[in-house]
Amino acid sequence: MKLVVIQGPNLNMLGIREQQIYGPMKLEQIHAQMKEFANQNGMEIEFFQSNLEGEIVDKVQECYGDADGIIINAAAYTHTSIAIRDAISAVNLPTIEVHISNIHRREEFRKENMIAPVCTSSVVGFGPFGYHLAMVGMLQIMNEIKAAHEMQKQQQVAQSAE
């Protein structure tokens, strides 16, 4: 199973910016923990970060046919980007949105979420641990998809034997 983690604008500044909101961990540390979890669970993982909306759209689109799932923190683009929303919808992959802070308890403009309706699930407000929760969730989703495919195969074999 291949998982792509897409990080949006300013997340490259984690550990520096607004530590009272986002904490002291750097993005590289979060990715190292995610990679360790992926390795322990037989998952391939790829990381991508960009401050540019179009590059994020391109990366989501590249996941089509190449990845089994996406974890995305679109950061500020969560509240404004129809383009990222449309890309997530187009690739039709299990996608979990992550936000380090609880966006529902912050400024009014952060309560508008353009991408949540096209994501499988959202994890908000758990700090960097939210990425771990998203990976556990994605592993569960992938196991359920695999089980459903296996059940379909068994049904097809049973039908062809009749």
**What's the pLDDT tens digit per position in 104-141?**
887 787 778 999 999 999 999 999 999 999 999 999 99
Question: Token match 């771990």: residue?
Answer: 132
* Domain annotation for the chain: domains and CATH numbers: 2-161 (3.40.50.9100)
Catalytic residues, which ones? 22, 99
Whether the full predicted model's pTM is greater than 0.85, yes or no, is yes
> What confidence category does residue 61 fall into, taking pLDDT thresholds of 50, 70 and 90?
very high
Phi and psi at 64, nearest 5°, equal -60, 120
DSSP3 helix / strand / coil % (the chain, rounded to 5): 55, 15, 30
Q: How far, in Å, CA of 128 to CA of 101, rounded?
A: 9
**In this predicted model, what pLDDT tens digit does every residue of 76-94 receive, in sequence order?**
999 999 999 999 999 999 9
18: left (phi over 0), alpha (psi -120 to 50) or beta: left
- In percent, how much of the chain has pLDDT > 70? 100
Q: How far, in Å, CA of 18 to CA of 73, rounded?
A: 17
Query: For position 89, what pLDDT does the model report?
Result: 98
Determine the average pLDDT of the residues in 46-65: 98
